[in-house]
Amino acid sequence: MGGYIHYTDEQKDRARTTDLVSLLERQGEQLKKSGREYLWGDGSNKVTIRGNLWFHQYERVGGDAIDFVRKFYNKDYPEAVEFLLGGEDGNLKTAEPVAREKKEFKLPQRNENLRRVYAYLLHHRGIGRDVLNAFVHKNMIYESFPYHNAVFIGYDRDGVPRHAHLRGSGSESSFKGNVEGSAPEYSFHWTGQDSKIFLFEAPIDMLSYITLNPYNWQENTYAASCSVSDRVLFQCLKDNPNIRDVYLCLDSDEAGQMAAKRIEDKLFTQGYRSEILLPTHKDWNEDLTTMQKEGEMTWKTQLS
């Protein structure tokens, strides 16, 4: 593009609200309807589309139509707006999605100890020490260097690390994400011998639920998708044919419960028994920390 182009607020808003399903269908792209939404394939991952909004289920990023064109068609902001306004033949048919090279999976460097991760998970997140010790002993959780993130490792059936989810260990940190090259079907999971599996969105919610329900927990299978995907669930079902009962423990917000209903329908068609378990608050860690705070308040009241 040559020179600076000024777009009015009305033009930018019109570009931002472009219907992505119509746009992709004009290019001959294949989309699959899923409830109120559509799924569009981006390599081995899935992008959920609703109107002008999209969400990458694995990368956990999303946005509006302008963001979509910038990410998947390698356009800068003015180019994306011009495309969406019809500046180049009225659609994107001349553009090709950018082929992104799949990066080799590599675990982050380890810190010499887990001091910060233990402090974060035990004291800030309320995870039970025995529960945390069990996962550390299995080499499923460690602390990275130099950033001191909590690293949650997922292994395949041969014991090879295939996935790693990172969570900032600072009390005010909101950082989280998957290591590049991670295989979503092998995200963080614990394999037991019983016929039950519990699926969560995040590793910390998984550890929180176990802390809340510790009786013989090692006998069950637990998995954290690190998203709202079902890939780790169906990989676990494939690898463990003894599992027949599935408990969907996703967040109680709209995105989590839409995913839970979608997965429940899929399980039904494959002959699995399933049940949706709802946390009282938004997620299981909020349930855990709220219960602990209320228990502390009760204890302090009794002493006064």
- The domain total for the chain is 2
Q: Indicate if 158 and 282 belong to the same structural domain.
A: yes
- Residue 243: burial class (beta carbons within 10 Å; 0-12, 13-18, 19+): buried
Residue 145 lies in a domain: yes
Q: Indicate if 120 and 59 belong to the same structural domain.
A: no
Residue 194's domain comprises 115-298
Residue 53 lies in a domain: yes
The full DSSP string for 164-232 is: EEEE--STT---EEEPTT--GGG-SEE--SSSEEEEESSHHHHHHHHHHS-TTGGGSEEEE-SSS--HH
What is the Cα–Cα distance from 221 to 157, expressed in whole angstroms?
A: 14
pLDDT in tens, the chain (304 residues): 444 567 888 888 888 899 988 888 776 677 888 888 888 876 556 788 888 888 887 777 788 888 888 888 778 888 888 888 875 444 544 445 555 566 789 999 999 999 999 999 999 999 999 999 999 999 999 999 999 999 999 999 999 999 999 999 987 778 888 998 999 999 999 999 999 999 999 999 999 999 999 999 999 999 999 988 899 999 999 999 999 999 999 999 888 898 898 899 889 878 899 999 999 999 999 999 999 998 865 544 445 3
Residue 101 lies in a domain: no
Residue 224 lies in a domain: yes
Q: Indicate if 135 and 274 belong to the same structural domain.
A: yes
Residue 93 lies in a domain: no
Residue 286 lies in a domain: yes
End-to-end CA distance of the chain: 72
Q: Name the DSSP class of 120.
A: I
**Backbone torsions φ then ψ of 210, nearest 5 degrees:** -65, -40
Q: Indicate if 120 and 67 belong to the same structural domain.
A: no
Query: Using CA atoms in the order 130, 131, 137, 139, what is the torsion angle rounded to 10 degrees?
Result: -160
Centroid of chain to Cα 169: 18
The CATH number for 181's domain is 3.40.1360.10
Q: Indicate if 134 and 281 belong to the same structural domain.
A: yes
pTM for the whole structure: 0.68
Comparing C-alpha atoms, which of 132, 122, 168 is closest to residue 149?
168
Residue 1 lies in a domain: no
Q: Indicate if 203 and 58 belong to the same structural domain.
A: no
Q: Which two tokens stand for residue 293?
A: 């705070």
Q: Indicate if 37 and 76 belong to the same structural domain.
A: yes
Residue 194 lies in a domain: yes
Q: Indicate if 209 and 266 belong to the same structural domain.
A: yes
Centroid of chain to Cα 12: 30
Q: Indicate if 128 and 78 belong to the same structural domain.
A: no
Helix (H, G, I), strand (E, B) or coil at 249: coil
